[in-house]
Structure 1
Amino acid sequence: MQIQSDYIVVDNVRSLQLALITLSQSDCLSIDTESSGYYTYYSKVCLIQISSKGKNYIFDPIRLDDLTGLGPLFENPSILKIFHSASDDIKALKRDFGFKFINIADTMFSSRLLDLEQNSLLYLVEHYHKVKLSKKEQKSNWEKRPLEKSQLQYAALDTVYLESIWTKMSEELGKRKLLDEAVSEFAKIAEEEPEPFEGFSINLEKFPNVLELGSDERRALHDTLGFRDEKAKRVNKAPFRVWNNDKVLELVKSRGELNKLIDILGKKDAENLYQVYKNPSGPPIQKNDLFKRSIEDLAGEEADRFKRLRQWRETIMSIRRMGHNLMPSNKNIAEIAKRNPKSIEELKELGIFSNWKVENYGPSIIAAMQSKPYETTLSGLIPIKKKFD
């Protein structure tokens, strides 16, 4: 398959009409997006890239008032839509434009199912095409206009290889009898809805060197990050662009000295933050408090079910010779333990698993929660790794 990397910018009504006519005749679309999230608090889609039949279109939502014409293409079950990391793109497109998706493929999920060494698009292009892509523009400001030619070239290259990569991946998935599992997972991804965005959570445990701080400093750090987040919302800037981590630590160290805070922030922000320090949000934060998880809320029978489900997960991973990234998370397992489904249908209604997983994992999950043997229900599972490392 010959790769064509030239691109067509679609930023007016006439070019949009022509692009839609051409794309409506396709049976396969490779899709990617570029968003503003590295620069803004509230992320929005700034570009939509679509490649098909050797043509690469870059749609500009900032210049175009109406992109509803793409909707019928995305919903058409006869047109395959190929993504890399489909969940992120699909949720963003649903959030900003209300699009729906039917019949998708995801090369990132496929790379995990095929147990490739890495899962990035950069790696897949090099693995299948022996081409090294540059990621220099990955963290560009996609909201600014006009965009640089280097940005547009980068954006176009994110979709030009997807169809050929998926063709090779689907063949290998079929040979290894993993294609049905992949297709079912794709359908689940296509159905996912974006959750309402109410702000970034403050993950204190991920802050650099947080364990080296005292408990009072950790509380002040928590409150500083909360203050920064509120300011970032107001000015619609990514939090780290309001104050980076070094500045946050400087503020924490200066929390008892208003004059120092004024020197760092200016009078208004300094006085407001000083009041936050004078009226902290809670008690000092001990090291053990950093790593508490929702699963610690489980007790009694719920906790017992959670332990059995974790053992079930280890059993599946051993049988299929697979890593955690293809298995339900602790959060998922805790939710199952709490809801305690008694049947396959009740498990399906939780919306955690694809239909393939409900069918192939469901009986063993129900049995595990009821402390019943389940190993005989797993005999048909296909290993992910071809052999042990």
Structure 2
Amino acid sequence: MKYQSRKRAFILLADGTIFHGKVVGDNEGTAFGEVCFNTGMTGYQEIFTDPSYFGQLMVTTNAHIGNYGTNENEVESDSVKIAGLICKNFSYNYSRDDADASLEDFLAKSNLFAISDVDTRALVSYIRDNGAMNAVISTDVDNIAKLKEELADFPSMEGLELSSKVSTKEPYFYGDENATYKIAALDIGIKKNILRNLAKRGAFIKVFPYNSTFEELKSWNPDAYFISNGPGDPEPLTQAIATAKDIIATDAPLFGICLGHQVIALANGVSTYKMHNGHRGINHPIKNLLTGKGEITSQNHGFAINREETEAHSELEITHVHLNDQTVAGIRMKNKNVFSVQYHPEASPGPHDAEYLFDQFFENIAKSSKKAVSI
């Protein structure tokens, strides 16, 4: 077996609890972040490269990670975004015709520290009971006291602005410049598959940095606007919230996903809050209140919008709810061309039940611009 004498490693949670494991490969290292877990059975490469996971230590609940290798086309951004990986069984060998590298090589290329042989069932159960919290993973077993001190000073995810860490620095274009529609996308942590879904429906997209003003987006003369997913607490995104307010005031078509959904809520005066342990997985049940139909969805968020404030808001309507805990999963404005969802209709990984939301966005654009919809 490869790496038979791997170094000991551990997970130290902010409350002092320790879980033990072994380092992946023959590395040594330490990584800090908020510990969270994803229940998906597949899609680990997409998860690791999702900007929404920036700064988080990812616990994978599937028992085997790495068994189907990696493929350079199965990424959601240009680099790994998680702070570290925690898993049960790490597969150094892989079996898939489409794979072009092992997960071990992929992580090594990304300088990502990972530990395995962890009792992930016990760890996830602990997080579910005690909530998401900061943690450190390390091979430095002789300096736990020092790591405790460093962990105590590590910033909490609550109040943390992270979009600036993952957003594009300069505007860029995506799609066919001769497409039917032009969409200005505010990148607060955008996934590539969102851009693919917009482009294949007939959009040419200009992607703007997280702190772009409405005037900057409007100067491109787009037919519609989009606010992306992303990491961290939405409340510090004051410029994105201001930009959303200005877009809403024009009654232009606007669609928001995940963090973008929270930004649109904040632009309407609805507050957000940090959840106990968030929703992260590819089998979350949603009910569409407009149609009565259920959806199985891909989700990744640690914050949510206040339901009571949303219900009391004269201009907002709740369109979707999460069936596990009744949190708000979607809203629309009653007198504006604006809607958003807390989950990921682009999936990747995950089911495609919610792809219709992109079609709905383009129908809104068609009605607004009076152009023929291209779906």
Higher Rg: 1
Higher strand share: 2
User: Scaled by the length of structure 2, what TM-score is found?
Assistant: 0.22
User: Scaled by the length of structure 1, what TM-score is found?
Assistant: 0.21
